Amino acid sequence: MKSVSLGGLLALTMIITNLTACGSSGNSGRAAEPAESSENIQLGERSYLLGLPANFDKNKEHKLLLVFHGSGGSSGGMRSSARFEQLSSDYIVAYPKSLEVEWNEGCDCNIAHRKGADDLGFIQQVIEDVGKRYALQEGEIYAAGFSQGALFAQNVACNLGDQVKAIATVGAPMSKQLAQSCPMQTPVSVMMVHGTADNVLSYYGSDHANFGLLSSQEAVARLAELNGSLPNPLLKSSEQNIGLIHYTNGAQKVQLHSIIGGGHSWRFSNFDTSNQILTFFAGLDAPELPEHSQLVEVQGQKFHVRSMGEQNTGPAILLLPGFNYNYFNDSAWYSLLQPYLAQTYRVHSIDRLGNGFSDMSEEVNLTRFAEDINSILNEINEKHVLLVAFSSASITASQFYQHRSDDVQLAGMLWIDPDIAGPHSLSLYKGYPADWYLANLDALLPILAEGKWTARTWNKLVVEREEIAALIPEAVAHLMDWNFLDVVSQQRMLVGPQQTRAREIAFYANDLDAYAALALPSSVPVSVIDSDFEEKDIQNNPDNAEMLRLWQQEGTAWSKQVTEFSSGQYISLEQTDHMVMFQKPEAIKQAIDWLVAQGK
């Protein structure tokens, strides 16, 4: 697992100094007063401070949040800094006190370790004791810690993951010893918050024979690896000088909030730590979305919509992804084209259910997606649109043309290497692999659920990325959003999207039949970009050259028929890859410009 960089935001400074200062919260201003409802509870020689929210209802089931102080700190001091029970009525909050000056946090290197402090056992006792006193929600136990208490929270995640759902750490990276010994048998969501100017537990890590620290970027990558996360993190930065590195395994999240210039503190002027932690815990089931992305809910299901250039007027450009040669199809295909077009147009890309960050569904097909588009447009308040459909998305575009809402004005459509509704082409599309997936779908779905095709999928993604990189013209390379491509395309490795892809291929023949039965569009101009990508297949498959050549010829004739019937443009591109969106974005924009001009 590689660590990642936030580029010029971060400067390598500071080294580890006085570890005994870890108990200080480093806060400026007055700490909030503790809530009135609190109790110091003894468990043998140990104790914890219990905080209850205002208007506490003893008959309600609550979540449990454990909060660990730093080295030399106290339960009361930690409570004054965090004040979780004052911010949410959902949690009972326990602030345990360490037995020694510091926690036995898993480095096997400190006083607590040498004296044999069973801090993990103590935390289990606290959980059990609170559970005897109050009704707790099953599976809703969380932990947070500051400084050396943050390192201990990581130890809790590593060893008590079957009990703790998520943790948050503030003011600490990760010890090198725990990074190597952490078993993490049960994945746990992790939120890290760390100031880049921390001069106590350095953001940049440290080398020490007894107590070495990873950098925080290395730590979040290691925790992600232990959780079995997807390889590429989502990177974001805010105007408040906060960088985000976010990993996911499709269920658990692991993320680092880098507070640029922040010191060794729980609170920061530009980051409300306690509220942000509660927000993280509450949103574990929701995906972390890239910039410009949103989830649009339609009839109880959420669709990933990425919107750019919203300041621009005129018709909105709607980008619909379709199959490439691996039958992958999501908004990753528009990682270059969308920012390129957004310089002039308002542009939305939409992922079908089961693709990108959209919800999973067993009902997935290209035809159904046309109905979804009508509802999505209504939710995002777009009534004047121009559709750009790549490959098999021409099926959806045709269905949308026939069944669009009366209040939607369709300015035109641009089809890029569309599926060809001619007899020879249809027979090819319905052949292998579509016929194989249809025959074997029931047996294949459980195999995919076991992850047996995940490595195979990753290998395809690696090759695709290299191919895409070779296609992008130097003149527009600065607009390419590689992080968006990586984080969207890697979703294909998850079980749900793998099964969606299998279903879409299996149901492809039905979509094609519905497509072929439709009349050609006539009331709006349809332009077609027709690349000669088939030439590569013809050269590489001499045994099937005649069949492929016929497919190419039928495609040219059918595409010309579509454009003539609708008064659109037929645009032939020579020596062009199927992924025209990366290789010839300027040709796509010129075709869109022409279509928009027809409506003026």
- Tell me: pLDDT of 437 over 60: yes
- pLDDT score for 600: 76
Lowest-pLDDT range of 14-23, 119-128, 531-540: 14-23
- Tell me: pLDDT of 356 over 90: yes
- pLDDT score for 13: 30
Average pLDDT over residues 215-225: 98
Measured distance CA(202)–CA(196) in Å, rounded: 8
Q: Is the pTM of this model over 0.85?
A: yes
Helices (H), 334-433: 337-341, 366-379, 393-403, 423-430
- pLDDT score for 38: 75
- Tell me: pLDDT of 329 over 70: yes
Q: Are 177 and 153 in contact (CB under 8 A)?
A: no
Per DSSP, the residues of 278-327 read HHHHHTTTSPPPPTTEEEEEETTEEEEEEEE-TT--SSEEEEE----TT-
pLDDT digits (tens, 9 = 90+) for 34-51: 444 779 999 999 999 999
Confidence at 314, pLDDT banded by 50, 70, 90? very high
Q: What angle do CA 144, 148, 149 make, to 5 degrees?
A: 25
Q: In what order do the strands lie in the sheet with 46-51?
A: 38-43, 46-51, 91-96, 62-68, 136-146, 166-170, 189-195, 253-259, 242-248, 234-237
Q: Are 187 and 166 in contact (CB under 8 A)?
A: no
Q: Are 562 and 528 in contact (CB under 8 A)?
A: yes
Q: Are 158 and 174 in contact (CB under 8 A)?
A: no
- pLDDT score for 473: 98
pLDDT digits (tens, 9 = 90+) for 374-399: 999 999 999 999 999 999 999 999 99
pLDDT digits (tens, 9 = 90+) for 496-533: 999 999 999 999 999 999 999 999 999 999 999 999 99
Q: Output the average pLDDT for the chain.
A: 92
- pLDDT score for 239: 85
Average pLDDT over residues 277-289: 97
